[in-house]
Amino acid sequence: MKKILTALLLSAAILTNINAQSDMAVGAGLVVSLPMGNFGDAANLGIGGTAAFELKFAPQITGVGHIGYISYGTESEAVSYSTVPLLVGVKYFFQPTGGVYGIGQLGLNFFSTTVEYEGFDFFGSSFGGTSASLSYSEFTLALGAGYEVPISSNFIFDVAGTINIISSFTNIQFRAGVKTGI
């Protein structure tokens, strides 16, 4: 029993030391998406969230990964659009201490479009009433800028704006979130 307890305490001490020296962070944020072009003709404002992972490569360069979910409104309640963005890229901080950064990401957006058809009544009997769904993925290039500011010893507030170039689904996104080191 003492050997197991000693092994657990030693493992915890090593892992704590590794985490204290780690340059990794995780975070979450809210996203507001403004569709443009043909996509803007079909969809309204998009609202969603993302989870983020970051790994510092150098004092001014950090690798980033985002996955999320964004739902878009439409003029019709029968039509809905949503997307799951999966992006990886790099943040470049203009100062070694953080603050303002540029960001570039590549990845995929997994889109889903759903259309619901209302049925009709004919002499007291209901007919129809179904839905159709279409799922597809599109290559994505995201370019933008952001700003990070510490809000406590453990948390950093991160706000960014990007233009997401996605064939005919281009949009401008604003993200605000927090991250913490792991």
Report the chain's mean pLDDT, rounded to a whole number.
Answer: 83
Contact at 8 Å (CB) between 85 and 56? no
pTM, rounded to two decimals: 0.76
DSSP state for residue 74 in the 8-state scheme: -
* Cα–Cα distance measured from residue 37 to residue 62, given in angstroms and rounded to the nearest whole number: 32
| Partner residues linked to 136 by β-bridges | 111
Range from 17-26, 84-93, 129-138 that averages highest in pLDDT: 84-93
- Mean pLDDT within 61-80: 88
Report pLDDT digits (tens) over 113-163: 888 777 777 777 667 667 778 888 889 999 999 999 999 888 999 999 999
Q: How confident is the model at residue 22 (pLDDT cuts 50, 70, 90)?
A: low
Q: Which domains does the chain have, with CATH numbers?
A: 24-181 (2.40.160.20)
Closest-CA residue to 128 (of 136, 120, 137): 120
Q: Map tokens 């996203």 to a residue.
A: 31
Give how far Cα 158 sits from Cα of 53, 146, 179, Å.
Answer: 13, 7, 7
